[in-house]
Amino acid sequence: MRHFALPITLFVPLSLACGDSAEAPATGDGANDPAGADIALAPVLEDVYTVGAMEGEDWEIFGRIRSVDFDENGNLHILDSQADRVVVVGPDGDFVRTVGKPGEGPGEFSGLRDLVVRRDGSYAALTFGSIHLFDADGEFTGTVPADISTGMPMRAQGLPDGRLVSSNVVRMNMLGSGGSLRIATSEEPEGRAIEVFSLEEGMSELLYTAWELPEEDPDDGSISVSGSSTAASISMRMSPPKAFVPGLHVGVLSDGRIAVVDSVGYRVKLVGMDGSVTGTLERPIAPTVVTEAIREAELERRRAAREEGNAPGGEVVMSVRGTAGTSASALSSLNPDNVQSIQVMGGSIEDMTFADEIPVIDAITVDWDDRVWIERTGENGQGQGPIDIMTVDGRYLGTLPADGLRTPLAFGPGGLAAFVDLDEYEVQTVRVVRLSLER
């Protein structure tokens, strides 16, 4: 195992340690007022360990690290989706165990997508069609089916009561051998669903419907069916891409509430388990109006990314709406066994449309002590923006600069934080530090 030292920099007075309580010093001059000007925070990083190697023990050679999470004992759980396993590392960086391996048997994975680690070290491992459960010792305890016809969470976070919460639940009903194909239609409820998934019942239920930017032309995407009922061809035309659409960002608090960002402005909603909004975190930062210069810059950025093979991507959930007429009804009664071909045509970058404003918030993360790390969108929608840190009672703690420390991928007890890096040989490593913040 190789360890790499991390330089410690940026020391300024007025300590605000991540491992301590959420209290921040009040100075009487509005220092914790979210309506005030940005207050610079300086991160102090103490190297703990780094794991990951090109050559070494089997456990420390990672294929594709998809997520990392701490438990309350400081153990780090590393999901390697390429190897279909979880590597557990102790607080000192020493190997503890591996959990799972490729296969179809109990405790084995086929397409490991996501890992929900609970504070006691037990977890739920999400694969396509099922969720595998393990206790705090890494022992397999059972499987919960996740039926794509009723709702399958693609990514999820854990709630204190044992359930999962997800804003990425996929539903599809396409059954062969006499079954039918069902698609979403324009009559589907408006908004974006945040759902809670029960690991006892294997079913999801709606918790909260987040706001969604209204479509300017809901018929941009179309579907058509040609041929006969026993030899059909399906053509789908996807809507052109749209820039600066507000994302849906969700974080879980230790009391069971969730933090939700779904709008253009600077507003983080705190949503209770009954679906009601119990509070908001806000700062008076207005969204940027999209100008012609901003449109041209975004088009150029996407063209360059496409040429380099790095076009914007990620997990995409495709929604197809039937156009007026008979196409939707034809699909609803079509037997997939009789579909000879499916052609999907996507809108090109050159046809891209734009929202009127650039959302202020680009991402949020809730740390171990329930502080909310709010990543602002970069200037004119380009690059990375500053990161504000706020408490759930609305106090503003300060801001990390856009060119400084980014939000860790995982937070743990006592100020532990984890980052995934690439070394000079393009090998993935996990760097664990003890993090504090100072003004």
Kindly report, residue by residue over 153-166, the tens digit of the pLDDT. Answer: 999 999 999 999 99
Assess whether 254 and 363 both reside in one domain: yes
Q: Does residue 203 fall inside a structural domain?
A: no
More confident residue, 347 or 188: 347
Assess whether 288 and 345 both reside in one domain: yes
Q: What is the model's pLDDT at position 308?
A: 84
* Residue 172 CA neighbour count, 13 Å, CB half: 14
More confident residue, 311 or 362: 362
Assess whether 296 and 363 both reside in one domain: yes
More confident residue, 31 or 240: 240
Q: Does residue 372 fall inside a structural domain?
A: yes
Domain extent for 366: 216-308+316-403
Q: How far is the C-alpha of 114 from the C-alpha of 68, rounded, in Å?
A: 10
Is the pLDDT assigned to residue 13 strictly greater than 80?
Answer: no
State the burial class of residue 261 (Cβ atoms within 10 Å of its Cβ: 0-12, 13-18, 19+). buried
Give the mean model confidence (pLDDT) for residues 71-93. Answer: 97
Q: How far is the C-alpha of 228 from the C-alpha of 31, rounded, in Å?
A: 70
pLDDT-derived band at 349 (thresholds 50, 70, 90) equals: confident
Assess whether 325 and 419 both reside in one domain: no
Assess whether 109 and 5 both reside in one domain: yes
- β-pairing, 353-354 vs 242-243, is parallel
Assess whether 93 and 17 both reside in one domain: yes
More confident residue, 171 or 268: 268
Assess whether 50 and 118 both reside in one domain: yes
pLDDT-derived band at 236 (thresholds 50, 70, 90) equals: low
Q: How far is the C-alpha of 290 from the C-alpha of 349, rounded, in Å?
A: 17
**Domains in the chain: how many in total?**
2
CA dihedral 270, 271, 273, 275 (to 10 degrees): 170
Give the mean model confidence (pLDDT) for residues 332-349. Answer: 60
Q: Does residue 181 fall inside a structural domain?
A: no
> pTM (2 decimals)?
0.82
Q: Which residues contact 304 (CB under 8 A, 6 or more apart)?
A: none
Of 225-229, 307-311, 337-341, 427-431, the least confident: 225-229
Q: How far is the C-alpha of 181 from the C-alpha of 398, rounded, in Å?
A: 51
Strand order in the sheet with 267-271: 249-252, 258-261, 267-271, 277-282
Assess whether 325 and 412 both reside in one domain: no
Q: What is the model's pLDDT at position 272?
A: 98
Strand partners, 416: 434
Is the pLDDT assigned to residue 409 strictly greater than 50?
Answer: yes
Provide, rounded to the nearest whole percent, the portion of the chain with pLDDT above 90.
Answer: 65
Q: What is the model's pLDDT at position 193?
A: 95
Candidates 159, 50, 61, 164; CA nearest to 114 is 164
Q: What is the model's pLDDT at position 183?
A: 44
Candidates 89, 91, 88; CA nearest to 74 is 91
Q: Does residue 188 fall inside a structural domain?
A: no
Q: What is the model's pLDDT at position 237?
A: 65
Give the mean model confidence (pLDDT) for residues 362-374. Answer: 98
Tell me how far the alpha carbon of residue 175 is from its chain's centroid: 30
Assess whether 426 and 362 both reside in one domain: no
Assess whether 249 and 229 both reside in one domain: yes
Q: Which residues contact 55 (CB under 8 A, 6 or more apart)?
A: 61
User: Are residues 88 and 69 in contact, defined by beta-carbon separation less than 8 angstroms?
Assistant: no
Assess whether 364 and 414 both reside in one domain: no
Assess whether 328 and 300 both reside in one domain: yes
